[in-house]
């Protein structure tokens, strides 16, 4: 199996990595194709950085040539299999390319696609055996500009988020075209959210679409929270504590967090996760009861969540919040924590069961947070844990495998 991930394997463990790990646990050899993850090479790995730069320059040159010499773009010949392989996880980074989603240039996207195509042919496709089944799960619509019918026995599109998160400043219409081509060559489409399912069915009526929401490694969360203890960097933090874990990008409501911290000086706010641009929270760094811890290892997340009295999902209203099925909800629920969230379509069923609180507007968020902080211990915490247990990555991966007609666990 092959996963075309939009994030590096060593980044915060989200859906791409969790699905990959589940496949490997089942004894399925897996190749994880990832963006180059340049920041990983800048952390004291000078030799690795030099290799990455040289490797990227080579494939950029080959990619340019492939645009000028059409014959070089053909699909490579397959190698025959050598018997069953041992269960492995192979990570294949793509070359550094131009940040085409930061500008609006269809030509730049074609150049990047040509570079990826050449790297893919030489680093992945030449090792795909002609007499063995190969299944590719593609999680970035841009690969619709790169992949061809026949590259793998089966191609599945795993639609993770609203397409604007992938297109950035580039043309949404072009990225929608890449996505349509990906669906044309895909035998199966998975979606994480109902709104995404509705959009894709409108694009390609009658195509097989299966909703596979996000989940949590429930048992691992319990074990890590139980044995780890409180992280050293928040041991002196005054309670009550309201916290957030996850990536911090444009969908995170920085102004709302600032308002909460200023309005509720008796509450400590802890934000754990990498910020894409430092300017987003520059005006909030002097608030004394609001701490930005930055990125922490994923293995530390259960310990941080365990230390929170209430967990937060403060997203900006819009398309992203209406089409997102947040992994962090199930991670919060795995430890039974009260959750306060801005309204999100995918979270409506849990609100109706009283498992989380929706908050409308700034003052509504303050009121909901006060209610959550006053929540007594009881059976609602156990019901949250049961929801998390039902959304295990193991069960969700079983659903994907059965939809692909691949043998699942007995």
Do the Cβ atoms of 264 and 258 come closer than 8 Å? no
pLDDT at 24: 92
Measured CA to CA, the distance from residue 187 to residue 210 in angstroms comes to 11
pLDDT at 67: 52
Secondary structure class of 209 (helix, strand, coil): strand
Do the Cβ atoms of 80 and 131 come closer than 8 Å? yes
Residue 88 pLDDT grade (very low, low, confident, very high; cuts 50, 70, 90): confident
Q: Which domains does the chain have, with CATH numbers?
A: 2-214+393-403 (3.40.50.2000), 218-390 (3.40.50.2000)
Q: Report pLDDT digits (tens) over 223-274.
A: 999 887 889 999 999 999 999 999 898 899 999 999 999 999 999 999 999 9
Read off the pLDDT of each residue in 321-334 and give the average, rounded to a whole number: 93
- The enclosing H or E element of 259 equals helix 254-263
For residue 310, which phi and psi values (nearest 5 degrees)?
A: -140, 145
pLDDT at 82: 34
Closest CA to 215 of 333, 312, 135: 333
Read off the pLDDT of each residue in 81-91 and give the average, rounded to a whole number: 58
Longest distance between any two alpha carbons in the chain, whole Å: 69
Q: Report pLDDT digits (tens) over 371-399.
A: 999 999 889 999 999 999 999 999 999 99
232 CB-near residues (< 8 Å, 6+ apart): none
Do the Cβ atoms of 252 and 313 come closer than 8 Å? no
DSSP structure string for 6-23: SS-TTSS--HHHHHHHHH
Would you say residue 328 has pLDDT above 90? yes
pLDDT at 11: 81
- Minimum mean pLDDT among 99-103, 186-190, 351-355, 398-402: which range? 99-103
Structure tokens that stand for 355 in this block: 């498992």
Per the rule left: phi > 0, alpha: psi between -120 and 50, beta: everything else, 259 is: alpha
Residue 366 pLDDT grade (very low, low, confident, very high; cuts 50, 70, 90): very high
Per the rule left: phi > 0, alpha: psi between -120 and 50, beta: everything else, 295 is: beta
Would you say residue 45 has pLDDT above 50? no
Q: Report pLDDT digits (tens) over 171-204.
A: 999 999 999 999 999 999 999 999 999 999 998 8
Would you say residue 40 has pLDDT above 60? no
- Minimum mean pLDDT among 54-68, 132-146, 173-187, 294-308: which range? 54-68
pLDDT at 353: 77
Read off the pLDDT of each residue in 52-57 and give the average, rounded to a whole number: 56
Measured CA to CA, the distance from residue 179 to residue 161 in angstroms comes to 12
Q: Could you tell me what percent of the chain has a pLDDT over 70? A: 87
Measured CA to CA, the distance from residue 178 to residue 142 in angstroms comes to 6
CB-CB neighbours of 279 under 10 Å: 8
Would you say residue 73 has pLDDT above 70? no
Would you say residue 344 has pLDDT above 50? yes
pLDDT at 203: 87
Measured CA to CA, the distance from residue 23 to residue 5 in angstroms comes to 14
Secondary structure class of 292 (helix, strand, coil): strand
Which residue pairs from 13-21 have beta carbons closer than 8 angstroms and sit at least 24 positions apart in sequence?
Answer: 13/298, 14/327, 15/139, 15/158, 15/160, 15/192, 15/214, 15/327, 16/139, 18/215, 18/217, 18/393, 19/137, 19/158, 19/393, 19/396, 19/397, 19/400, 20/89, 21/89, 21/393
- Minimum mean pLDDT among 27-41, 72-86, 110-124, 290-304: which range? 72-86
Measured CA to CA, the distance from residue 109 to residue 36 in angstroms comes to 16
Residue 39 pLDDT grade (very low, low, confident, very high; cuts 50, 70, 90): very low
Do the Cβ atoms of 225 and 203 come closer than 8 Å? no
- Minimum mean pLDDT among 55-69, 282-296, 308-322, 339-353: which range? 55-69
Would you say residue 4 has pLDDT above 80? yes
Do the Cβ atoms of 244 and 314 come closer than 8 Å? yes
Read off the pLDDT of each residue in 211-233 and give the average, rounded to a whole number: 91
Do the Cβ atoms of 258 and 286 come closer than 8 Å? no
pLDDT at 84: 37
Secondary structure class of 369 (helix, strand, coil): helix
Read off the pLDDT of each residue in 57-61 and give the average, rounded to a whole number: 60
Residue 103 pLDDT grade (very low, low, confident, very high; cuts 50, 70, 90): confident
Measured CA to CA, the distance from residue 225 to residue 115 in angstroms comes to 43
Read off the pLDDT of each residue in 206-219 and give the average, rounded to a whole number: 93
Which residue pairs from 380-387 have beta carbons closer than 8 angstroms and sit at least 24 positions apart in sequence?
Answer: 380/354, 380/355, 381/336, 381/337, 382/336, 383/353, 383/355, 384/332, 384/333, 384/336, 384/337, 384/355, 385/218, 385/333, 385/334, 385/335, 385/336, 387/330, 387/333, 387/350, 387/355
Would you say residue 299 has pLDDT above 50? yes
């Amino acid at each position: 199996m092959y996963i075309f991930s939009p994030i590096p394997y060593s980044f915060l463990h989200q859906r791409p990595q969790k699905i990959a790990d589940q496949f490997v646990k089942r004894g399925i050899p897996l190749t994880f194709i990832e963006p180059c993850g340049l920041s990983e090479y800048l952390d004291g790995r000078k030799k690795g950085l030099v290799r990455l730069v040289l490797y990227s320059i080579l494939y950029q040159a080959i990619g340019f040539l492939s645009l000028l010499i059409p014959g070089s773009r053909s699909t490579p010949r397959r190698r025959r299999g050598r018997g069953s392989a041992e269960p492995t996880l192979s990570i294949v980074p793509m070359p550094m390319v131009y940040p085409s989603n930061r500008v609006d240039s269809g030509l730049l996207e074609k150049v990047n696609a040509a570079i990826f195509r050449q790297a893919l042919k030489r680093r992945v496709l030449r090792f795909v055996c002609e007499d063995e089944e190969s299944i590719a799960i593609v999680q970035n619509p841009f690969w619709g500009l790169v992949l061809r019918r026949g590259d793998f026995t089966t191609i599945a599109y795993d639609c993770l988020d609203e397409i604007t998160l992938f297109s950035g400043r580039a043309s949404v219409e072009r990225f929608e075209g890449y996505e349509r081509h990906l669906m044309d060559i895909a035998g199966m489409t998975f979606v994480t959210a109902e709104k995404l399912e509705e959009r894709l069915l409108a694009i390609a009526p009658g195509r097989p679409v299966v909703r596979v929401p996000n989940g949590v490694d429930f048992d691992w969360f319990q074990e890590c929270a139980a044995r780890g203890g409180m992280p050293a960097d928040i041991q002196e933090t005054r309670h009550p504590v309201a916290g957030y874990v996850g990536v911090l990008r444009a969908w995170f409501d920085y102004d709302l967090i600032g308002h909460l911290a200023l309005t509720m000086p008796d509450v400590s706010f802890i934000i754990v996760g990498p910020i894409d641009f430092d300017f987003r929270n520059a005006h909030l760094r002097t608030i004394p009861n609001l701490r930005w811890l930055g990125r922490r290892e994923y293995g530390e997340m259960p310990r941080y969540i365990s230390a929170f009295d209430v967990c937060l999902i403060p997203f900006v209203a819009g398309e992203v919040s209406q089409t997102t099925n947040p992994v962090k909800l199930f991670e919060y629920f795995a430890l039974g924590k009260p959750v306060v969230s801005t309204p999100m379509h995918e979270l409506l069923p849990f609100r109706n069961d009283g498992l989380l609180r929706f908050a409308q507007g700034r003052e509504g968020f303050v009121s909901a947070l006060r209610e959550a902080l006053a929540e007594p211990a009881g059976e609602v915490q156990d019901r949250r844990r049961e929801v998390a247990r039902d959304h295990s990555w193991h069960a969700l991966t079983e659903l994907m495998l059965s939809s692909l007609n691949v043998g699942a666990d007995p």
